[in-house]
Amino acid sequence: MTDVEGGLDEPVELQPAEGQLELVGADDTYDAAAWEAAAAAVLRKARRLPDDAPDSDVWGVLTRTTLDGIEVAPIGQPADLEGLTTSGRPTRAGAWDVRTQVEVVDDRAANEAVLQDLENGATSLLLHVDPERDHDWATVLDGVLLDLAPVVLDRASTDQVEAFADFLEGVEGALHPGTNLSLDLQTLEMLSQPVRDDGATARDLVAPVARRAFQLGVRGLLVDATALHDEGASDAQELGWAIATGVAYLRLLADEGFDVESAARLIEFRVAATDEQFPTIAKTRAARRLWARVLEASGGTGEMALHAVTSRPMTSRRDPWVNMLRGTVAAFAAGVGGADAVTVVPFDEPLGLPDAFGRRIARNTSSLLIEESHVGAVTDPAGGAYAVERLTDDLAVAGWAELGRIEAAGGALADEARAGVKERVADVRAARDAQVADRSRPLTGVSEFPDLAEVLPEREQRPHRHVRRYGWAFEDMRAEPAERAVFLATMGPVAAHTARATFATNLLAAGGVAVESAGATADVAAVLAAYAGQPVVCLAGTDAAYAEWGADLVAALRAAGATHVVLAGKPGERTVTDVDDSCAMGVDALGFLGRIREELAR
């Protein structure tokens, strides 16, 4: 280790610790200007920064803007905390609750999965139920020590909530206080599922469940913001929706005679954790800060029960193994951010019913982070980091603003407020779709580095769960591959054309389109010798090759039968202009692939 003194805006002297090899000299100092110069050099080499641009422009190039309009700088600085009063730090101390997800389709099969998870590292259960079925909870939870392992339901109907409460009331002995009857009105409404056939209001449903939960010593109400996340919501929208629903529950419970502290103890919040590490850390920290402010304004105190579930929209059916990496980053971020419980969605869930291997990997992700990486050993490990504190504050402010919009429309349980939320989520969804389309939001295995020859694992189909995955448009194309291939007219030796040929091949593969390559060529005749009459042709070569013999090659290919010619690169003065389409970095990939598939289908 080295001893570091000074801040980012001051020269930093690096001195070796006692007994260590001196890796830097006494005259070596680093400050913000030095970082800018180093970063600028890399960006100029990558052609992301003009040679004549000042080094300070690196901030604009490397700063990204979230879907909430929040700027995230490449590194934090002391100035980020000017005017901020950081608060709402995570209150979880020690390891988080490893809450595994079990699909309850067949009751006995679910029981086997439940016991297997609990025997191999799980500390609580998230039971995803089929809303169209009645389940025998005595069978599902046979052998489970309910005083040690909390049980929470996922997407349960009101009838299932009441049946679960009936079962718990018949259990001998104490129940774990983390168990939740799991009444989740907002998710039922968000998914357009009827709350009750008899016209019961929110007040009619919340009060009885709350009273039963209070008597059992467990939680009764669930605020599941992942339902909104699954529809495409941004982080701030998810936070605002969650807090607004919590506020609505507090009001209903206050009318029933519950004090603020008692009411708050009955509520559990569930948020999504994505593979965007720092926004997820900040979101979980901001959620606690917002709820603490609500309780303070309500004249009470209390701690937020926060459950994080790794994002389903971020997962993919294609190259599902990448989901393991996404889930690991998301679980790490949720744990660092202070979630009380973390559920890692099995990597194979997009394919159907997760098997034992998928559940094992999901379960072990948290176990490895806790037991081997010791992520839970430090409370709020990201606290105090300039960038994290800034992002936490920005998200908290944006979430509070969304809460204000919902309250102004009548509160979370009002139809007008719900309609407004859906409208705003639709705007964010469209913005994200545009980023996915032009691959500025790349999806590994889907829009980037696809494998047309992959063989997907087979999984049993399970009850439908509505999730709008980010890569759905690409996956729809991949589900129905193009029947014909594109001829890749590679120009020159492999070393010359490989960059653009690889780019075009990967782009076309993302839309389920294969290529047949000419390979190394020296002239027009060599390319034509490999051409087999494909209607769509893509030229791939250097600018020099395009200028030297690109026009002749296009003319020869058209004469040989090509009806649609694409250029890998941007048409211009130094390249070929007589083409029908082109592809380069920043292209609307979905639009381009749609046009190519139309041409291939003619």
Domain boundaries, the chain: 2-81, 102-427, 478-601
Q: What is the DSSP letter of 448?
A: B
Q: How far apart are the first and last CA of the chain?
A: 65
| DSSP three-state, residue 394 | helix
Looking at residue 366, its pLDDT comes to 97
Does the domain formed by 102-427 have CATH 3.50.30.30? Answer: no
pTM higher than 0.85: yes
Looking at residue 466, its pLDDT comes to 81
Pairing of strands 341-343, 97-104: parallel
Phi, psi of 364, rounded to the nearest 5 degrees: -75, -20
Give the strand order in the sheet containing 486-490: 515-517, 486-490, 536-540, 564-568, 581-583
Amino acid code (one letter) for 53: A
**Beta strands per DSSP E along 184-324:** 219-224, 267-273, 306-310
Looking at residue 8, its pLDDT comes to 46
Looking at residue 463, its pLDDT comes to 65
Low-confidence ranges of the chain (pLDDT < 50): 1-8
Looking at residue 462, its pLDDT comes to 75
Nearest to 490 by CA among 461, 526, 460, 441: 526
Looking at residue 151, its pLDDT comes to 98
Q: Which helix (H) or strand (E) holds 124?
A: strand 124-129
Residue in the structure block whose two tokens are 């901001």 = 286
- Reading the block at residue 511, the tokens are 């839309």
Looking at residue 225, its pLDDT comes to 96
CA distance 330 to 322: 13
Looking at residue 19, its pLDDT comes to 58
Residues whose CB is less than 8 angstroms from the CB of residue 373 and which lie 6 or more positions away in sequence, other chains included: none
**Exposure string for 126-146, b = 16+ CB within 10 A, e = fewer:** bbbbbbeeebebeebbeebeb
β-strand partners of 338: none
Looking at residue 15, its pLDDT comes to 57
Tell me if 155 sits within 8 A of 185, measured CB to CB: no
Q: How far is CA 124 from CA 105, 117, 142, 219, in A?
A: 19, 9, 15, 14
CA distance 415 to 411: 9
Nearest to 98 by CA among 285, 313, 307: 307
Residues whose CB is less than 8 angstroms from the CB of residue 287 and which lie 6 or more positions away in sequence, other chains included: 239, 242, 243, 269, 271, 304, 306, 399
Looking at residue 405, its pLDDT comes to 97
Task: Give the class (CATH, top level) of 478-601.
Answer: alpha beta
